């Protein structure tokens, strides 16, 4: 498909909610899909521009609204209003946004990785919102700490390390030492998970990707990043059922999750499960992905689900 050359800044406006200041991106629906509303929730290490390409793809099938999450994308972190940057508190913030934005409308939720975790927890803590949702889309999402592919030893190291770095003083020191641009340029590409991101990338592309990665490391509040990392590595979202169907869009080559285990957990939580494997070699498209490159996350079967949603 050919996409219009649009500027994301033209669709981004300020967002102030519950004492937190951030931004929200909204793309109006095409005329023939004016009744379809999609709430797009980005994942870890993200901002609105990071997922501009995917927002454009989904916009072909309805209106797209993507809000910042507290502590991500430059939004005020929850600690500034005396709250922990926990999964529960981020989910409650998202519930407040949904109640404000979708007072009389039904909508589809598309959650990307950590964003799907937040969406699930929001619905579990606010079951009255379930009736407003058409269906859920998990784009490389997960539900339980056992979904990770890490070895037990690596999982323990990541969890213990994240618990230390999330401490207020330690996170500040980490921000002004390990996250300095020269340090990131030297070391980040050599880390275990980043190697997968940069595999096969030439020198010019590597520099552009690294520049964007550094922006994201600085746009996301350090304590929030590591607190939510601990939450992801220890989460169990299987305790409360959600009476909604889920579409799970995933890569068979995902370097983070065992999708067979993810499926088992989703079948425990949701009332119906549909899966679509997509031909990508990474967890999700890279941080510079265009609309054309992001289109892989909206495969034909999912497009049909959007079209059927419009008809109801």
Tell me, yes or no, whether 183 lies in a domain. Answer: yes
Specify whether 92 is located in the same domain as 59. Answer: yes
Residues 24 and 112 in one domain: yes
Answer yes or no: is 179 within a domain: yes
- The Cβ of residue 34 has, within 10 Å, a number of other Cβ atoms equal to 12
List 23's β-bridge partners, or say none. Answer: 14
Residue 173 shares a structural domain with residue 269? no
Q: What is the DSSP letter of 295?
A: G
Domain count, the chain: 2
Mean pLDDT in consecutive groups of 10 residues from the start of the chain, 312 residues: 83 95 96 92 96 96 97 96 97 97 94 98 97 97 97 96 96 96 90 77 88 94 97 97 97 94 98 94 88 94 85 48
Please report whether residue 261 resides in a domain: yes
Which tokens hold the place of 76?
């005020």
- Give CA–CA dist 171/225, Å, rounded: 9
Burial status of residue 191 (CB atoms within 10 A of its CB: 0-12, 13-18, 19 or more) = exposed
Residue 283: what are its φ and ψ, rounded to 5°? -55, -55
What CATH number is given to the structural domain containing 50? Answer: 3.40.50.1820
Q: Which residue has the tokens 């989904």?
A: 58
> Which of 228, 246, 270 is the last residue before a domain boundary?
228
pLDDT computed for residue 310 by the predictor? 58
37, β-bridge pairs: 63
224 and 263 together in one domain: no
Residues 180 and 261 grouped into a single domain: no
Asked, for residue 168, whether it belongs to a domain, the answer is yes
| End-of-domain residue from the set 210, 228, 246 | 228
Q: What is the pTM of this model?
A: 0.95
Q: Are residues 211 and 244 in the same domain?
A: no
Q: What is the pLDDT of residue 201?
A: 79
Tell whether 56 and 133 lie within a shared domain: yes
Closest CA to 229 of 218, 220, 238: 220
Pairing of strands 37-41, 107-112: parallel
Q: Among 228, 257, 292, identify where a domain stops.
A: 228
Assess contact for 52 and 35: CB atoms under 8 A. no
Is the CB of residue 244 less than 8 Å from the CB of residue 133? Answer: yes
Indicate whether 1 belongs to any domain: no
- Do 132 and 52 lie in one domain? The reply is yes
Is the domain of 27 the same as that of 136? Answer: yes
Q: What is the 3-state secondary structure (H, E, C) of 34-70?
A: CCCEEEEECCCCCCCHHHHHHHHHHHHHCEEEEECCC
How far apart, in whole angstroms, are the C-alpha atoms of residue 256 and residue 158? 13
Q: Are strands 107-112 and 63-67 parallel, antiparallel or unpaired?
A: unpaired
Residues 59 and 123 in one domain: yes
In a domain, 3, yes or no: no
Which DSSP letter does residue 82 get?
Answer: T
Note whether 222 and 243 are same-domain residues: no
**286 located within any domain:** yes
| Whether residue 119 sits in one domain with residue 22 | yes
- pLDDT for 311 equals 47
Residue 277 belongs to domain spanning = 8-149+236-311
Cα–Cα distance for residue pair 108/134, rounded to 1 Å? 5
Q: What is the 3-state secondary structure (H, E, C) of 153-222?
A: HHHHHHHHHHHHHCCHHHHHHHHCCCCCHHHHHHHHHHCHHHHHHHCCCCHHHHHHHHHHHHHHHHHCCH
- Cα gap 175→222, rounded to integer Å: 6
- Taking the C-alpha atoms of residue 32 and residue 310, their distance in angstroms, rounded to an integer, is 9
Say if 2 falls within a structural domain. Answer: no
């Amino acid at each position: 498909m050919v996409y219009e050359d649009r500027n994301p800044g033209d669709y981004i406006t300020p967002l102030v909610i519950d004492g937190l200041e951030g931004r929200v991106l909204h793309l109006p629906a095409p005329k023939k899909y004016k009744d379809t509303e999609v709430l797009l929730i980005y994942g870890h290490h993200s901002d609105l521009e990071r997922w501009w390409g995917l927002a454009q793809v989904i916009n072909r099938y309805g209106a797209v609204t993507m809000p910042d999450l507290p502590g991500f994308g430059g939004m005020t972190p929850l600690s500034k209003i005396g709250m922990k940057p926990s999964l529960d508190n981020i989910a409650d913030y998202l519930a407040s946004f949904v109640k404000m934005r979708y007072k009389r409308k039904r909508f589809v939720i598309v959650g990307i990785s950590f964003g799907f975790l937040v969406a699930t927890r929001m619905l579990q803590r606010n079951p009255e919102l379930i009736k407003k949702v058409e269906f859920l889309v998990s784009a490389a999402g997960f539900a339980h700490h056992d979904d990770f592919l890490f070895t037990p030893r690596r999982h323990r190291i990541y969890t213990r390390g994240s618990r230390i770095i999330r401490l207020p003083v330690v996170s500040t020191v980490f921000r002004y030492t390990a996250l300095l641009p020269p340090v990131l340029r030297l070391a980040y590409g050599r880390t275990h998970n980043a190697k997968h991101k940069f595999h096969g990338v030439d020198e010019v592309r590597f520099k552009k990707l690294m520049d964007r990665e550094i922006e994201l490391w600085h746009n996301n509040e350090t304590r929030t990043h590591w607190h939510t990392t601990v939450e992801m590595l220890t989460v169990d979202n299987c305790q409360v059922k959600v009476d909604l169907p889920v579409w799970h869009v995933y890569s068979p080559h995902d370097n983070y999750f065992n999708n067979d285990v993810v499926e088992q957990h989703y079948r425990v939580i949701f009332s119906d499960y549909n899966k679509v494997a997509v031909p990508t070699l990474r967890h999700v498209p890279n941080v510079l992905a265009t609309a054309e490159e992001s289109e892989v996350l909206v495969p034909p079967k999912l497009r049909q689900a959007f079209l059927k949603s419009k008809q109801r």
